[in-house]
Amino acid sequence: MFAGLLSLPEAVLLGIVEGITEFLPVSSTGHLLVVSDLIGFGTGTSEGAADSYAIAIQFGAILAVLVLYRSRILSIVKGLVGRDEQGRSILLALVAAFLPAAVVGVVFGDAIKNALFGPAPVALAWAVGGAAILVWKPKPTQRSLHELSVRSALIIGCAQTVALWPGVSRSLVTLIAGLAVGLSLAAAVEFSFLLGLVTLSAATVLDVSRHGGDIVDYFGIATPLVGAMVACVTAMVAVRWMVSYLNSRSLAIFGWYRLAAASVTAVLLVTNVL
């Protein structure tokens, strides 16, 4: 009965924001928080309903990676049943990398949300992450994805816990951690996408199981579906662009973008727009 709380244009906007930013090292959560505040999204809903909606439309981004990396995912599935050694190695690495953030999220999720989910913490995280990208110069390597050890994957997973702070970006910290443990840039990017697939899937299933009824009650069925579909299309475009771009260029563009986003958000805060 509350489906009118989110219009179709707003659903499209949020889907675009989610899809473009989910796998780029710029923080989808940070962008959704700021954009949601700007359009008044979530006003009049139950506590957590708007957050659950934002997580639910991640399904579109999940679908994008499933489509784009279907051959790698098939290899991982074969590894699960012992028919692909490289797939099995990647699967073990993904499990090791997923666990730290899952544990920290379950134990401290509410405290993190209460303390850090707001435009000011997002702007700070954008600025620090942007500076880190511009300052840090990793040494290039050729270590492939299937060579990633469980120990190195666990290090990446521990780094992913930092991304529970909105604005930090899960993609950013997993990319940097992947490069730090010796992966090539291409392998670090792919592992970041695959780890995102696992992490987002778990978060989406958990939140929809808890708040699926609220999402439908407040936003109906059409707007979440539209948001997810738009997120899928834009995520596919963003992932393809990022992979192509990083074939010949560095991460610097994302560092400058993050600093610009932090500056704009700071201005909006000072002028009481946010």
Weakly modelled stretches of the chain, pLDDT under 50: 1-3
Contact in structure between 235 and 17 (CB atoms under 8 Å): no
Query: Residue 158: its pLDDT value, please?
Result: 97
CA angle 269, 272, 274 (to 5 degrees): 60
* Counted domains in the chain: 1
The DSSP line for 215-231 is HHHHHTTHHHHHHHHHH
Query: Residue 46: its pLDDT value, please?
Result: 58
Residue-range definition of the domain harbouring residue 202? 3-270
3-state SS of the chain: helix, strand, coil percent to 5? 80, 0, 20
Query: Residue 121: its pLDDT value, please?
Result: 96
Query: Residue 131: its pLDDT value, please?
Result: 97
Query: Which letter does DSSP use for residue 138 in this model?
Result: P
Q: How far apart are the first and last CA of the chain?
A: 28
Query: Residue 43: its pLDDT value, please?
Result: 63
Q: Which residues have C-beta within 8 Å of that of residue 6, sequence separation ≥ 6?
A: 41, 53, 218, 219, 220, 223
